Chains A and B, each alone.
Chain A
Amino acid sequence: KNEVEQSPQNLTAQEGEFITINCSYSVGISALHWLQQHPGGGIVSLFMLSSGKKKHGRLIATINIQEKHSSLHITASHPRDSAVYICAVIVYNNNDMRFGAGTRLTVKP
């Protein structure tokens, strides 16, 4: 079983919809990253968080350390949000990084 599980694996939405991508992990962590990978491969970091909530534009990331769960929300989704979203955790104590398999989001106009 992967230490970092994401759901759903694939998600198709209509433009304007509210999107939620979930990440659950089974190890103790010191922080969690949300990454975005566009077609063609390039990965950019969206958020790093260790508690609470962060917001950047239409993107909101939350984390519940006790529940070992994080969510990435996209409000008013747009076709340019179509990408693979990857959750990654920094393992407490050894600073190893573990990645989820990614959620492929397609937003249709």
Chain B
Amino acid sequence: DVKVTQSSRYLVKRTGEKVFLECVQDMDHENMFWYRQDPGLGLRLIYFSYDVKMKEKGDIPEGYSVSREKKERFSLILESASTNQTSMYLCASSPPGGWRYEQYFGPGTRLTVT
């Protein structure tokens, strides 16, 4: 059974803190993605990675960075959290070909920055 896991379901952080969100997939997928989801806006792509140590900016990369040191793990980093980064963060993975194939999503991390 395919699986994408995220390190936390709920997270509360203070403004200015450095925040790490971890995502792990067990399907040996090349592609991994980080999205944020906000009411009325739908999912928006922050960053994606198509291979180890490779990364590409998505639609809203400002304020975020990513790390992919191993194929199964893709981390999203908020260098200095701000209240406008309060959101639901979703990780996904897919085989080569990206969105032409099914994406498998993690359960999401609801981050609150106070």
- As a 0/1 sequence over residues 1 to 36 of chain A, the CB contacts with chain B under 8 angstroms (1 = contact) are 010100000000000000000000000001101000
- As a 0/1 sequence over residues 40 to 76 of chain A, the CB contacts with chain B under 8 angstroms (1 = contact) are 1111110010000000000000000000000000000
On whether the beta carbons of A99 and B90 are closer than 8 Å, the reply is no
Residues of B within 8 A of A (CB): 9, 39-45, 88, 90, 92, 98-108, 110
- Please indicate which of the listed interface residues B42, B98, B102, B108 has the most CB atoms of chain A within 10 Å of its own CB: B42
| Chain B residues closer than 8 Å to A40, beta-carbon distance | 9, 107-108
On whether the beta carbons of B107 and A42 are closer than 8 Å, the reply is yes
Instruction: Judge if A107 is at the interface, Cβ distance under 8 Å.
Output: no
Q: Which of A67-94 contact B (CB under 8 A)?
A: 86, 88, 90
**Cα distance A102–B90 when bound, in Å?**
15
Question: In terms of DSSP, what is the predominant structure of the interface of chain A?
Answer: strand
On whether the beta carbons of B105 and A43 are closer than 8 Å, the reply is yes
Residues of A within 8 A of B (CB): 2, 4, 30-31, 33, 40-45, 48, 86, 88, 90, 95-97, 99-102
The residue from A42, A48, A101, A102 contacting B105, defined by CB atoms under 8 A apart: A42
| Chain B residues closer than 8 Å to A30, beta-carbon distance | 100
Apart from A41-B108, A86-B42: 7 A-B pairs, beta carbons within 8 A: A31-B100, A40-B9, A42-B105, A88-B43, A95-B98, A101-B40, A101-B42
On whether the beta carbons of A99 and B102 are closer than 8 Å, the reply is no
| Chain A residues closer than 8 Å to B103, beta-carbon distance | 33, 45
On whether the beta carbons of B42 and A45 are closer than 8 Å, the reply is no
Given contact pairs A48-B102, A95-B98, A4 touches B42 in the complex (Cβ within 8 A): yes
Expressed in whole angstroms, the minimum distance between the Cβ of B57 and any Cβ of chain A is 12
On whether the beta carbons of B88 and A90 are closer than 8 Å, the reply is no
| Chain A residues closer than 8 Å to B41, beta-carbon distance | 101
